[in-house]
A and B are shown apart, each in its own frame.
Chain A
């Protein structure tokens, strides 16, 4: 069972992704703003009138999003034929690989093996490999997916931190 802290972090992550998918410029700040408002409402009213706390968070997030739109805090969609200025930025150089290696080293050996194995292979072969991996670990493919996603997010966070250290 997740602890309260883990549930909070998970909700923050979901809100962050929601704002990110809505092309907001600072999804993490908007996620924090949403949770601050939820907390204030709880403080003021003692309880929240919604089916579940997540539902309430979403309603508040929508307001926060609408407000952010008014501040034009969103990204402009690129035309499909726009030259990709992003290409050089996504170059995987040895420095990135070295940082990734450090991040991988910080994972437990079993997790390291899992994430490498989970994301290996192409299309159909990948699906089969994941089924086989789940069977080998004695978990459902759904549980394996969640575990791999969690590990990847951990790796992404850790890699971002290391790359921003430079």
Chain B
């Protein structure tokens, strides 16, 4: 082995991209197995290299080498998948943003449960949660409190116990965690209000996809969007029994006056055990 000089990150990057002379490559091969510090630094540099590729921070010869050498390996391509997923993580919505809504929820008789669950849901990644015990007398509908009457509300039997969730529009960045929707035991209907980036269609329909099996497990009827405090949203009621504790995606399609339905957004979430 030649010298024991500690290689810098630039040299480690060139090693990972296979652009070092054979002698130097062998020196680093050996260090990657025998030298604790280099073994870990290589992994760190490799992670940062893959992240740089995924973020589009790579260019020129480095990008060419990365594509031709690094991505030739299926194992390494899996690292790119992980890096993309990690990049998609973003911080949870700040709880402070939603304090007024929480204050309104806390007026309900189930205030402790609702507040705790709401905070948990928001901390988990951007879902707002309201418990709407519509069978209870003299209890204001929380969505009404946000000046957003929902067409679905009128279709629901007042005797049915319903939970209402509001899902934010999906962002390119994704979320740190999927919003966790905890449906309390005894709930019969789940009202999902999907916030829209823009209301471009006369009607919408939704399909619930089980992400574990990739199957559509429920489809809605057509519904119109309406305005609420945060913009346009469209609401759907689905039977609570459809949801099991696992990950789902709501696929929202716009229905034009003439023509075929157009998929416009997916809202992923996790149904949490009650």
**Residue positions of A touching B, CB distance < 8 A:** 10-11, 14-15, 17-18, 20-23, 27, 52, 54-55, 57-58, 61-62, 75-80, 82, 84, 86, 89-92, 94-98, 100-102, 104-105, 115-116, 119-120, 122-123, 142, 145-146, 148-149, 152-153, 155-156, 159-160, 163, 166
Contact = CB atoms under 8 A, between A and B. Distances in A.
Given A27-B75, A86-B71, A152-B47, A18 B84 contact: no
Interface stretch (B32-40, B98-106, B144-152, B184-192): B32-40
B67 A78 contact: yes
Contacts of A102: 247
Contact of A14 (B39, B72, B76, B88): B39
Contacts, number: 151
Given A55-B34, A159-B82, A23 B270 contact: no
Contacts of B68: 77-80, 82
A90 B80 contact: yes
A57 B35 CA distance: 12
B219 interface: no
Contacts of A98: 178, 211, 247, 249, 268, 270
27 contacts: A17-B43, A18-B33, A22-B29, A52-B34, A57-B33, A58-B30, A58-B33, A78-B72, A80-B64, A80-B67, A82-B68, A84-B71, A86-B80, A92-B81, A95-B211, A95-B214, A96-B84, A101-B177, A119-B47, A119-B86, A119-B87, A148-B47, A149-B43, A149-B47, A155-B86, A156-B82, A163-B81
A21 B19 CA distance: 12
Interface residues of B, number: 54
Nearest to B268: A94
A49 B86 CA distance: 44
Given A97-B178, A98-B268, A14 B33 contact: yes
B198 interface: no
A52 to B, nearest CB: 7
